[in-house]
Chains A and B, each alone.
Chain A
Amino acid sequence: MDLELIQHAVPVLLKGLWMTALLTGLSVLLGFNLGLGLALIRLSESRFVAGFAKYYSLAFRGTPLLVQLFLFYYGLGQLPFVRNNAAIWWVISDGTRCAVMAIALNTAAYTSEILRGGLMSIPAGLREAAKAGGMSPFLRFRRIEFPLAIRQALPAYGNELVLVVKGTSLASTITVLEITGYTKRLMSQTYAIFEVFAIAGALYLVINLILIGLVRMTERHLMRHEGR
């Protein structure tokens, strides 16, 4: 492994790191909120409304992210109502925005399943007690249900975060230059396949380790009542 190659490759891949972090951050932000909404919809009383969330999650978890990405990036532009709608066109027309949308919609499906499990694990008595105490539904959700659900769901959500980071690598297939995009380019430029892979792989491992560390810290913070 020669020094010149490292000096050339590391700054390029660090540029990609920024893009990967941006894609991850935005997709997680959007995907978490969407997923929370879907989880609540799924638990609603109306069968029709709950059915929507169910089939949404079925469709997005049953197909590869790559297909979803291509369907949005290449496919949607063909539909006339998409082309005439300025807001949707703004999202679709750019690789980065389109990737964020696809990854966010994808992770929302997985997140909704994780959060649904958390919400269902709340003992009915706690909910009833909050109701009896006169809390409004929103206050009840904010003070009682959500904190309990997230505590339950956090370990599984940590795994999902790692999957999102890995999912952002697919953005390279629709012209977005993040770590994997630059890696592919460097591999074909320098032929130093293993060296470039080692650097890129190390960057991904570092991102994942940081995320897992953050999740563990949050977990410990939420479980602080348990003592040690």
Chain B
Amino acid sequence: MEFGLLQVWQDGWIRAILLGATITVAVGAVSMLAGAVIGVICGLVKWARIFPLTLVVDAYTSLVRGVPELLIIYLLFFSSVEFVTKVATAFGYAGLAESGYAFVIAVVAIGTISGAYSTEVVRGALASIPAGHLEAARALGLPARRIFLRIIAPQMLRIAIPGMNNVWQTTIKDTALVSVVGLQELMRAAFVGAGSTRHPFIFFLIAAVVYLVITLVSQTGFDAVERLLKLRARK
């Protein structure tokens, strides 16, 4: 029985897959970062109930969390492809549309999705800060900025870490979906390899294993951060 394992080694597919994995991690990390920024801003808006903005944020989170990720990717990709190609050609960068563009649209799409979930995590974390802490800070006459930096942010960070871990796990898995719009990440590399060698089983199995390694490694990373931020009893 031959499943093409030899071909994977000989034809340099391993390199393509590893390159794809790097792009997957890059898309995941940048999207997660963008999502975290969106999450903190929208989470604060939702928590503080700043009137007209909460409605916008509510609409954003319930829409993105209720509609399939793939549909959101199609929307962003198809609606922007014409526009971006036009702009790029106008500035004489027709080739740019193919290379950098897929990455940007992937980050925008995945970041939008991850931002909606982060918002809920941040809101939940903010809600679990005891009201007494805020009242005490206000009673001491601390300015709003100091209250945020010294009281709200540290507690929010600690409580939000496990939730952010979950968001990261789904975000890294969601990056597989941008392969359908042509970004050369891990899933796309496996798909191309499977198509040209006619050995789909081994290629998708390798892709699955690489994803598993990424999620397991990041899980241990998050566990370590969580332990680091845990409150230690004073000696």
Q: Which of B92-100, B104-112, B199-207 contacts A (4 or more CB under 8 A)?
A: B199-207
Q: Does A205 make an interface contact (CB < 8 A)?
A: yes
Q: How far is the CA of A204 from the CA of B65 in the complex (A)?
A: 11
Q: A65 at the A/B interface (Cβ < 8 Å)?
A: yes
| Chain B 195-225 near chain A by CB (<8 Å), digits 1 or 0 | 0000111111101100110011000000000
Given known pairs A64-B211, A67-B187, A172-B70, the reply for A78 and B201 (CB within 8 Å) is yes
Q: Of B69, B78, B204, which one neighbours A70 at CB under 8 angstroms?
A: B204
Residues of B within 8 A of A205 (CB): 62-63, 66-67
Among A67, A180, A194, point to the contact of B68 (Cβ < 8 A): A180
Given that A74-B204, A78-B200 are known contacts, is A67 also in contact with B70, CB under 8 Å in the complex?
no
Central interface residue in B69, B199, B204, by most chain A CB within 10 Å: B204
| B194 at interface by CB-CB < 8 Å | yes
* Interface size, B (range): 35 or more
Q: Which residues of A contact B215 (CB under 8 A)?
A: 62-63
Contact indicator per residue, chain B 56-90, by CB within 8 Å of chain A (1) or not (0): 00000011011111110011001100000000000
Q: CA A24 – CA B182 in complex, angstroms?
A: 27
Write the nearest CB–CB distance from B90 to chain A, whole angstroms: 20
Residue from B71, B194, B207 having most chain A Cβ neighbours under 10 A = B71
5 tightest A-B CB contacts, nearest first: A169-B68, A75-B201, A64-B176, A74-B200, A64-B173
Interface contacts beyond A75-B200, A180-B70, A184-B74: sample of 4 additional A-B pairs, CB < 8 Å, sorted by A: A66-B177, A67-B190, A162-B65, A201-B71
Supposing A67-B204, A183-B71, A204-B71 touch, asked if A74 and B173 sit within 8 A by C-beta, the answer is no
- Please tell me the number of chain A residues within 8 Å of chain B, measured between CB atoms: 43
CB distance from A159 to the nearest CB of B (A): 9
Is B79 a contact partner of A204 (Cβ separation < 8 A)? Answer: no
- Determine if A93 is an interface residue (Cβ-Cβ < 8 Å): no
Q: Nearest chain-A residue to B24 (Cβ)?
A: A64
Within the complex, the shortest CB–CB distance from A167 to chain B, in Å, comes to: 8
A193 lies within 8 A of B79 (CB): yes
A residues within 8 A CB of B201?
A: 71, 74-76, 78-79
Which of A76, A78, A162 has the most chain B CB within a 10 Å cutoff? A78
Question: Is A170 an interface position by the 8 A CB rule?
Answer: yes
Q: What is the 8 Å Cβ interface bit string for chain A, positions 180-208, against chain B (1 contact, 0 not)?
A: 10011001100001100100110011001
Instruction: Say whether A204 contacts B66, CB under 8 Å.
Output: yes
User: Which listed residue, A62, A168, A170, A172, touches B211 by the CB 8 Å rule?
Assistant: A62
Q: Decide: A67 near B78, CB < 8 A? Known: A80-B1, A166-B67, A204-B66.
A: no
| Alpha-carbon distance between A165 and B70 when the two chains are bound, in angstroms | 12
The interface residues of chain B lying within 8 Å CB-to-CB of A68 are 208
Partner of A78, one of B74, B75, B199: B199
**Complex formed: what's the CA distance from A165 to B174 in Å?**
15
B169 to chain A, nearest CB (A): 8
A-B contact pairs, 25 of them (CB 8 A): A63-B211, A64-B176, A64-B187, A64-B211, A66-B176, A67-B190, A67-B211, A70-B200, A71-B208, A75-B203, A76-B201, A165-B68, A179-B71, A180-B68, A180-B70, A187-B74, A193-B79, A194-B75, A194-B79, A197-B71, A197-B74, A204-B67, A205-B62, A205-B63, A209-B66
